[in-house]
Amino acid sequence: MFRIKIPATSANLGPGFDCLGMALQLYNTITVETKRPFRISLTGSYKEGIPADESNLVWRTMCHFWDLIHYPVPTVDLTFENCIPPARGLGSSSAAIVGGLATANAIAGSPYTKLELLQVANALEGHPDNVTPALYGGVTLSVPTEKGVLPRVLAQSPNLKAVVIIPDTPLNTKKARGILPPQVHRKDAVFNISHVSLLTEAFIREEYSLLKEAMCDKLHQSQRAALIPGLLETLEAALQAGAYGAALSGSGPTLLALIPRSFTEDVSLSMTNMLEKHGNIAQAMVLEIDANGASSI
């Protein structure tokens, strides 16, 4: 028997659309018992709507990997403890894919490196901004190249914490991506390129005061505000309460604020109160940054 934990992730961090991400200390866990009759058991806070049969995304990903390497599908007893809320912009599908790949790789004797697993995960997920931090931990940059995704860890253990504000109402990723225009203005592209560069410097040099400006965006947040009432006002409330920076987490609806270690309740309360004024009830969590990515426990 062995167990693997996979962190929640927050993608984009403002301007880094589909390329920046951060791993958080909130986990889904997979427990594996080999040479047992096939079974999937679900535990944790989020079980509703998740299949406990061969259609489960973790299991389908495991079978996909074994098919890639021509490994016979073994009989296993699997328990999935789901603590990452689904359809909230915290990388639940990436956690399932990364978890499935890491588990299947371990069962097969670890023939794939972490980098090779990333390429498979990216192909399955369609974009690397969540799967890279889910595998590597920390704050990551995913660079698309002709040979695949080049992952870079900008900061393994940044000296800050994350506030995540999780609305009760889920938001489908496909819907949140579909609202974006197929083309962008050159000035907006330049704005985001420059702000990703500034954000990269902020993490590498640990100059977190730069994050207020660095986490600004022109490509997706204002467009998605139509789907999340109070989005922009809540991000501003976080800054006014003392956050280093704030952004939409992935495609939403969760909102992310990065804060000094000495700050907690002021930022959380300001954000939840502002969302509530716009008709959104939300849960607040203060999380450490995960430094390890998917790992055995």
Binding-site residue ranges for ATP = 85-95
Residue 179, number of CB atoms within 10 A of its CB: 13
Cβ–Cβ under 8 Å, residues 145 and 137: no
Per-residue tokens: 161 = 């914490």
Instruction: Using CA atoms of 33, 34, 38, 41 in order, give the dihedral in degrees to the nearest 10.
Output: 10
| Beta-ladder partners of 258 | 162, 245
Cα distances (angstroms) measured from residue 270 to each of 3, 85, 105, 146: 38, 22, 43, 44
| Side chain identity, residue 34 | T
Cβ–Cβ under 8 Å, residues 131 and 125: yes
Q: Residues in the chain, how many? A: 297
| Side chain identity, residue 214 | A
Residue 109, number of CB atoms within 10 A of its CB: 8
SS3 28: strand
Cβ–Cβ under 8 Å, residues 78 and 41: yes
| Beta-ladder partners of 139 | 22, 155
Helical (H) or strand (E) element with 215: none
Binding residues: 85-95
